[in-house]
Structures are given as structure tokens and as C-alpha cells.
């Protein structure tokens, strides 16, 4: 069997795999990338880009972004099918795959299509139905194999009407009713998209929606989802799920029964590690298939690194890219940035969007750090009024001593873009004066920062400082 030698072998072509390979190749390393699927991009392209493009298509066709404008009413065209939405998503995915292929090609990365398995700590076998197996030897190996939907054993995901976040893209029509089980990013995003398409959604979850977000943002999203017609059964525990040829019924511990045409199970994601043969080389993934790494993204085998979904939370494309780049800097001692940014943005593409960076009220309370809140609402902002966004808000958290920005939280349209103003300010340890002194275009949503800052200064003057309760310390 042929054995080919490389400075770096990358397993997986998602955001972490692509950027890790390109980073090393940019600095002159000989790189091989292995992808088990016939198409490049991983979950970020196949399900992530698909759900995001479906969201934008739904907002366009349903007229959500033109709501409350001069009394105009927009509704979904009856002739549109679910595949109309998936088709546009397919176009977006094809463009993304083309970009990834071009990026790897221009960096001189060798591509191998097939399943990967470790033969020894430096050798990976590539098995493909299209050609003879080949063995690759790598001085350094980056595992960026991504993740897949978690299948709880008590959910009948072998039934055609009970689907995960990958299988849902295969639906042939827009159902009238759907049950969404879960309260994380995928569950909330799909619940909002299908509700925008006119589907009657029942969302079932045992805890708080998106519990990594600030509690006010989480609550605001739930209230907005209810306004959009989504029934939120929270908190509720599932006792049993049954499926027939025509519908799915969920029985709750409370005794309530919910029946719908389909059920989407969004119970998190597992690392794609089961087939890699990691235990044989001394790497032992968790029960959910995730690989533990140190601050340099090294596994327990020093020359083997891991990044992206396969190492767990936050599992976002943006953070995965940065993790892989930094991992390669350490692997080859490159004179480049040595760490992922100390503060990372998070975004959830619900309707409307949620985004955050830095501390939450809960994290500051846990750390015993006092804070002041500054808040401004979209409805008080000229651009917010123009676009008809009534429920959105910007929430800033400052330290009361010197008014350094500690956290930024946004619920509303364009939140995923707007958060970067606050993120940059946090990374630069900026104070409230940054927003007070800055002149923003009018009318823009960016002005929210100035008026949220004025609000914080007013609260400080009135002594509205949140401090850790001594009794709870």
C-alpha cells in the first residue's frame, strides 16, 4: 500500500479543517486534507448554511422584513413548496463548497476523499470506494472531523416522521404542524423558520431556552416566539414518543399529549470520532464523542491537535476557524497569533436574531463583580422604527468603578452584525466614553450603543448598581 508523507494531515473539511489546512500551507507546509463525504464543507455548509439561507428566504417570501410598513400585508405564496426553499439553500451551499475548494487549491493542499482511520499515531489510512486505499504519514495531525446530530436512545429516529436537523432538509413539503424537541440553537432556529412559513409549531424543552445567553434575551426570544404562534411547553419532560404512518404523538410527564405531522429532535450534537480508531493511539473521546484538548488545542498525543465541533461548545464556525488557526501556529511554532481571542461572539439566527459577547448578568453575579446595565430599545431608534422592529433591544454591562464595558447582549434584527461593535470595545477594554464620543450615522441601529451608554450613565448617577448579595456570597 502506498504511503505518502506530509507535514500536516487534516481530517475534515469544515471551517476548522479548511482554515487549519490553509494556515499551515500558507507558511509553506505540505498539507493533506481528508474528507469522508463527496462534498466539502462539513456541517457548517450542509446544515448550517442551509438553515441560515432558508431563514433569509423565509423572511423574504413571507414579508417578515416588510412588516408594519404602511399597512401592507405580505403572505406566503400557496404554490411554494419546502423544496423551493431547500433549492435556494442548495445554491448557497454549492457556492460555499466552490469557495472552499478554490481556497484549498490555491494553497496547494492535497485533497483525499474517503474515510479516515489511524493506523498508528503518525499514520492515517484513507479508504475510498473510488480508488485503492492509501496511507498518509503526517508529522502533525489535526482532527477537525466535526459533529453529527445526537440521537437519544429513547427517541424513535428510525421512523420517517421523527427527524433530526440533517434529515429535516429532506422533507418534500411544508407540513401544517410540527413538534420541535429541544431548546438549543438548532431547535430555536428551525422553530422560527418553520413558524415563519406558516407551520404550527409546538416547542418542548425541559429548561430555559438558549441558557448560555443572558436571561433577558432568552426570555425575550421565548415571548417573541409565542407572538409568532409558537406554543412553548417549557419546562416539560417527555415521557414517550409514538409515531404512526400519518403523525407523531409526544406524551409529557404532565400527562399532556401533543400530535403533529412531524417531530424534529434537536438534542445537541456528537463528535464524529467513532470510526477514527482514536483509542488505539491513546486518545479517549467523551461519551458524546468529543475530544479533550489543552489551551494549544493539543490532545493527549502531543503532535495530534483537534479543533471545531469535535471538541464541543461553542461549536460555531467562527470559533472553529480561530481554534484551528491557533492550533497550527503552536504545532509548527509559527510567528503568528498564539491565542484565540479572549472574548468570542455568539450568534443565534432566530427571528429575530440573538447575539452576545463577554459577560452576562449571571456570570458577573457568580464572580461577585458589580455591574451597571445600560439599555436601549429598537422601538426608540429611528432605523428600528423604519424597519418595524418593535421588540428588539441592546443591553450593555459596565463596571461601575470606571465604566469599562464587560458584556454586550442584543435581541433584534442584525444582532449578529451589531454585536461586533461591543465585542471590539470589550477586547480593547474600552469605557463608556467610547460610545458617548463616537458619532454614528443617522438613522442606523448602531446608534443604540450611544443611547444605551447614556442610560448606563444615568443609572450610575442614580446609584442603580448591581452588587453581589453578601448573604449569598
- The pair phi, psi for residue 200, each rounded to 5°, is -80, 110
Q: What is the pLDDT of residue 90?
A: 64
| Domains of the chain: residue spans and CATH | 3-147+270-331 (3.50.50.60), 162-267 (3.50.50.60), 352-463 (3.30.390.30)
Q: How far apart are CA 307 and CA 321, in angstroms?
A: 8
Kindly report, residue by residue over 407-434, the tens digit of the pLDDT: 999 999 999 999 999 999 999 999 999 9
Reported pTM: 0.87
Q: Report yes or no: 457 and 402 within 8 Å, Cβ to Cβ.
A: no
What is the pLDDT confidence band of residue 153, given thresholds at 50, 70 and 90?
Answer: confident
DSSP H helices, 249-405, are: 317-331, 361-367, 382-387
The answer on pLDDT for 469 being more than 80 is no
Give the residue carrying C-alpha cell 428588539: 392
Q: What is the pLDDT of residue 409?
A: 98
Cross-strand pairs, 431: 404
What is the pLDDT confidence band of residue 72, given thresholds at 50, 70 and 90?
Answer: very low
Higher pLDDT, 359 or 52: 359
Cross-strand pairs, 394: 376, 410
Q: What is the pLDDT of residue 70?
A: 45
Cross-strand pairs, 5: 137
Q: What is the pLDDT of residue 20?
A: 96
What integer is the mean pLDDT of 16-25? 95
User: What is the percentage of the chain residues whose pLDDT exceeds 70?
Assistant: 88
Give the residue carrying C-alpha cell 417527555: 238
What integer is the mean pLDDT of 163-168? 90
What integer is the mean pLDDT of 188-198? 92
Kindly report, residue by residue over 238-271, the tens digit of the pLDDT: 999 999 999 999 999 999 999 999 999 999 999 9
Kindly report, residue by residue over 54-66, the tens digit of the pLDDT: 777 667 665 555 4
What is the pLDDT confidence band of residue 85, given thresholds at 50, 70 and 90?
Answer: low
Q: How many CB atoms lie within 10 A of CB 232?
A: 20
Q: Report yes or no: 248 and 161 within 8 Å, Cβ to Cβ.
A: yes
User: What is the percentage of the chain residues whose pLDDT exceeds 90?
Assistant: 74
The answer on pLDDT for 50 being more than 60 is no
Kindly report, residue by residue over 328-362, the tens digit of the pLDDT: 999 999 988 889 999 999 999 999 999 999 999 99
Q: What is the pLDDT of residue 221?
A: 97
3-state secondary structure 397-456: EECCCCCEEEEEEEECCCHHHHHHHHHHHHHCCCECHHHHHCCCCCCCCCHHHHHHHHHH
The answer on pLDDT for 140 being more than 70 is yes
End-to-end CA distance of the chain: 64
DSSP assignment string, 205-235: -SS-TTTTS-HHHHHHHHHHHHHTT-EEE-S
| Strands, sheet with 257-260, edge to edge from the N-terminal-most edge strand | 238-243, 248-252, 257-260
C-alpha cell of residue 374 = 445600560
Q: What is the pLDDT of residue 316?
A: 86
Amino acid at each position: 500500500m502506498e504511503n505518502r508523507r506530509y507535514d500536516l494531515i487534516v481530517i475534515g473539511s469544515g471551517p476548522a479543517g479548511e482554515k487549519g489546512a490553509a494556515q499551515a500551507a500558507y507558511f509553506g507546509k505540505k498539507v493533506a486534507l481528508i474528507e469522508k463525504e463527496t462534498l466539502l464543507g462539513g456541517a457548517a455548509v450542509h446544515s448550517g448554511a442551509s438553515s441560515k439561507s432558508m431563514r433569509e428566504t423565509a423572511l423574504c417570501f413571507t414579508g417578515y422584513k416588510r412588516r408594519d410598513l404602511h399597512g401592507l400585508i405580505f403572505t406566503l405564496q400557496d404554490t411554494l413548496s419546502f423544496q423551493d426553499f431547500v433549492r435556494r439553500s442548495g445554491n448557497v451551499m454549492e457556492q460555499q463548497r466552490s469557495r472552499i475548494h478554490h481556497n484549498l487549491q490555491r494553497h496547494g493542499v492535497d485533497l483525499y476523499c474517503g474515510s479516515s482511520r489511524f493506523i498508528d499515531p503518525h499514520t492515517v489510512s484513507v479508504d475510498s470506494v473510488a480508488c485503492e486505499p492509501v496511507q498518509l504519514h503526517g508529522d502533525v495531525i489535526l482532527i477537525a472531523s466535526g459533529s453529527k446530530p445526537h440521537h437519544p436512545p429513547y427517541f424513535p429516529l428510525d421512523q420517517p416522521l421523527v427527524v433530526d436537523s440533517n434529515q429535516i432538509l429532506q422533507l418534500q413539503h411544508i407540513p401544517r404542524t410540527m413538534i420541535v424537541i429541544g431548546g438549543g440553537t438548532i431547535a430555536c432556529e428551525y422553530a422560527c423558520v418553520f413558524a415563519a412559513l406558516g407551520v404550527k409549531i409546538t416547542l418542548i424543552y425541559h429548561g430555559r431556552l438558549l441558557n448560555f445567553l443572558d436571561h433577558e434575551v432568552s426570555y425575550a426570544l421565548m415571548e417573541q416566539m409565542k407572538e409568532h404562534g409558537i406554543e412553548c411547553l417549557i419546562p416539560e419532560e417527555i415521557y414517550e414518543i409514538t409515531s404512526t404512518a400519518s403523525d407523531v404523538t409526544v406524551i409529557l410527564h404532565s400527562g399532556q399529549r401533543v400530535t403533529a405531522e412531524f417531530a424534529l429532535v434537536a438534542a445537541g450534537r456528537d463528535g464524529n470520532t467513532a470510526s477514527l480508531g482514536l483509542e488505539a493511539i491513546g486518545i479517549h473521546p467523551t461519551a458524546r464523542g468529543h475530544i479533550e484538548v489543552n489551551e494549544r488545542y493539543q490532545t493527549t498525543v502531543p503532535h495530534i491537535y483537534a479543533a471545531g465541533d469535535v471538541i464541543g461548545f461553542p461549536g460555531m464556525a467562527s470559533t472553529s476557524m480561530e481554534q484551528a488557526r491557533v492550533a497550527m501556529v503552536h504545532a509548527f511554532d509559527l510567528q503568528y497569533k498564539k491565542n484565540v481571542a479572549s472574548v468570542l461572539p455568539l450568534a443565534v439566527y432566530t427571528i429575530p436574531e440573538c447575539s452576545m459577547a463577554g459577560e452576562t448578568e449571571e456570570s458577573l453575579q457568580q464572580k461577585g463583580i458589580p455591574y451597571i446595565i445600560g439599555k436601549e430599545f429598537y422601538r426608540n431608534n429611528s432605523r428600528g422604527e423604519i424597519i418595524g422592529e418593535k421588540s428588539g433591544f441592546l443591553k450593555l454591562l459596565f463596571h461601575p468603578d470606571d465604566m469599562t464595558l464587560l458584556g454586550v447582549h442584543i435581541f433584534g434584527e442584525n444582532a449578529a452584525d451589531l454585536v461586533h461593535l461591543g465585542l471590539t470595545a470589550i477586547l480593547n477594554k474600552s469605557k463608556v466614553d467610547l460610545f458617548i464620543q463616537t458619532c454614528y450615522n443617522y438613522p442606523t441601529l448602531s446608534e443604540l450603543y450611544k443611547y444605551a451608554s447614556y442610560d448606563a450613565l444615568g443609572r450610575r448617577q442614580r446609584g442603580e448598581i448591581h452588587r453581589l448579595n453578601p448573604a449569598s456570597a
